Structure 1
Amino acid sequence: MIREIKEQFTEEILTEAIKRYDINNDSIRSLGGYESFVYEYQKNNVFYILKISHTIRRSINNIRGEIEFLNFLSNKGLAVSNAVPSTRGNMVEEIAADNGSFLAISYEMALGNEVSGDDWNESLYEKWGEFLGKIHHATKGYEGSNPALKRQAWDQEVQLKAEKYLRPDDAMIPILKERLAKLTSLPKSKDTYGLTHTDFHQSNFYLHNGHIYLFDFDDCSYTYFIHDIGITLCYALFCPFKEFENKAEYYKLFFRHFMKGYLKENTIQEEEIEYLHDSIKLRYALMYVYFHQANDVSQLDEASMNWLQELQRVAASGDPMLPIDFVQEFKSIYTSIH
């Protein structure tokens, strides 16, 4: 949690949000939260999510843009958690604070259950890729209703965070700029770039009758589709929900089935696949920046400092992230299905 947000949050803010959504105090429980305060509540035997963010991170129009995109994907037949209005009929409720405002949004609770180790298999990998391919295919036809609601571009947000939370002499700043420059050298077109989830990891979807139900679009932004794939791979390959004795074989197995599913719904070029290692390294750089947002790094314990140093080492390394040739694997997958 960003420290400036955490320091401003009070019980009075939560009480006001509860009032505006007519929530029974006995039905609400905290789910924690990474960048926002997140709660679960029940009304008329239906479960919902209450998320309280802050204008330090998102403007009201920015969140309205998220909700508009959710509605678009839902209308395209994708299973996503839609937002629900407050008792005043607002999709976003603004609650004044000392520095800016807190923003309360409520969503339908995703159907299904959390992903478990038992679910972690080739069938899931393929469905995962297929779902992301559907988002990328759908967003090619997305046009927002109002320029004021347009979501941010991924690189704009990254640069702002780095300059705000890292010291001017931090070695990660030039590394981050280098990673950004490499990825942004890709050509932008409706076939390579668009509004997408940008945080599609295994803790942001449930499985409902064997199908994916996606939620938490808080980070949705305009980015390269290959970068969006890289974000998913970063979490799925390094943090699987079960152990694999032969990690190199697991990496290949996941990638093959994930991309097989993806290519059912969307196309991507070999030239884009070449950027996957860089995209994963960029994610490590962003986690390094976020760690500075959320923590006083001068007060870290040994384990946290080691993790921070590891993030920096991986992001700065010129070596491939994984013992896998994504391009060769992609060629093999592409050939097998055509």
Structure 2
Amino acid sequence: MVEAIRKRLNERYPIDVTTVEAVTNAMYRCVAVEGTYYARITNYKTFDEQVEEVRYTEFLRHEGIGTSAAIASLNGNVVEKMSLPDKDVRTVLYEAAPGGHLPRSEWNADVLKEVGREIGRLHRTSKKFEETHPPQHINDWHDSGEYDFLTYIPEEERAIRTIAEEVHSTIRSIPKTDENYGLLHGDLWLENIVVDDDRNLTLIDFQDCEKHYYIFDLAVPIYSAIEYSFPGGGNIVDYGRKVTKAIIEGYEEENNLSPEMLEKLPLFIKLKELFEYSLMHRYWNKEKLTEEQMRIMNHFRMRLERNQSVLEEKWLTRT
């Protein structure tokens, strides 16, 4: 498969790819004579959705937001249709972002504050994009099947289904305004943030960009840091407090965050937890769970059933 991908890329793009390596089932690292690139090869979104996504990220990049440049094909297309031996796919080729992923020990308050600043700049620029390029194909969050929790969470898990339904309906009832709702990244795990030697950030993988409440783009990296990036060697409660404080303070240096929406941050973190738990049921083979998958699923199940939060509300107090 990787050899077929290499040949198709060389036929379609103005680069000479020498090696292709799978990073995920949809992303491939491509080493070429001209440098390193990443090819996203997937049918996860429609052709029109992907074209609009690239138009959005290119707008962000030209406005100074750290995003990877998309490479047009020899046909002048930023989204290229290709045929592989077992399927037809849609491809977007990106320049590699400068830098790399930080080790857990380096996600300190200074870097996380810059993450908050970059998200604030992202949202300000997203509003500008929507004014001039009203999205036609990028949907609202609640129209995505991945938020249809009750389809995937088993019926016997009544307590979690009740919580999922309450969280979903409560968030949908929040009044949308130009200040609290719009186009955003949608999946800002710390793994989707690349950092160079000068601590400049590049936001990658906009495949899940959607129209959502802006606070969700803060909930995801806070949740990601607390749940997956604590390096140890200290108190995780202190770490969670510092993470939350740094990201929010950075964001508020670049964009407004109303007290009403800040108070709802735990609700959106709960939405992210339910999202992840629902995906486990959707994509994992429950008849063949590994020990690690079983541990993770039980960890989520116990916390959700007890309606516990990874975020303490007192961390949201402005000082």
Q: 1:214 aligns to what?
A: 203
Aligned to 1:14: 5
Question: Structure 1 241/27 Cα, relative in aligned 2: closer, same or farther at 3 Å?
Answer: farther
Q: 2:285 aligns with which of 296, 307, 322?
A: 296
Question: Contact (CA 8 Å) 2:6, 2:20: kept in 1 or not?
Answer: no
Letter aligned with residue 289 of structure 1: S
Q: Residue deviations 1:59-117, cap 9 Å, x none?
A: 00111111011011112111111211122222112235899842111111101122124
Structure 2 CA distance, aligned partners of 1:43 and 1:271? 49
| Structure 2 unaligned residues grouped into runs of 5+ | none
TM-score under structure 2 length normalisation = 0.88
1:324–1:219 Cα change, 3 Å? same
Identical amino acids, percent of aligned pairs: 23
Deviations 1:16-68 (A, max 9, x none): 6434336656322222x2xx5211113343211111111xx210011111101
**Aligned counterpart, 1:45:** 34
Structure 1 counterpart of 2:138, from 138, 146, 151? 151
For 1:59-208, what aligned pairs fall within 5 Å after superposition?
59-95=46-82, 101-143=88-130, 145=133, 148=136, 150-158=137-145, 162=149, 165-167=152-154, 171=158, 172-208=160-196
Say yes or no: does 1:306 pair with 2:298.
no
Q: Secondary structure at the match of 1:70?
A: helix
Aligned partners of 2:70 and 2:92 also within 8 Å: yes
In structure 1, runs of 5+ residues without a counterpart are 1-9, 333-338
CA distance in 1 between counterparts of 2:310 and 2:115 reads 22
Contact between 2:266 and 2:313, CA under 8 Å: does it hold in 1? no
Distance in 1 between residues matched to 2:87 and 2:260, nearest whole Å: 44
Given residue 199 of structure 2, which amino acid in structure 1 is its aligned partner? G
d(CA) in 2 for partners of 1:15, 1:210: 32
CA distance in structure 1 between the partners assigned to 2:315 and 2:212 by the alignment: 20
1:52 alignment partner AA: I
- State the alpha-carbon separation in 2 of the partners of residues 317 and 296 from structure 1: 25
Instruction: Quote the Cα distance in structure 2 between the aligned partners of 1:74 and 1:25.
Output: 25
Distance in structure 2 (CA, Å) of the matches to 1:323 and 1:247: 12
Query: For the structure 1 residues 24 and 316, does the alpha-carbon distance in structure 2 shift closer, same or farther, using more than 3 Å as the test?
Result: farther
Q: Deviations over 1:250-304 (max 9, x none)?
A: 1111222221111110011111112111211211111112223322112213442
**Matched residue count:** 315
Cα distance in 1 for residues equivalent to 2:21 and 2:187:
24
8 Å Cα contact 2:98-2:195 kept in structure 1: yes
- Contact 1:110 1:206 (C-alpha < 8 Å) held by counterparts: yes
Within 5 Å, which residues of 2 pair with 1:235-274? Answer: 235-240=224-229, 242-274=231-263
Q: Is the 8 A contact 2:146 2:279 kept in 1?
A: no
Q: 1:308 to 1:113 in 2, by over 3 A?
A: same
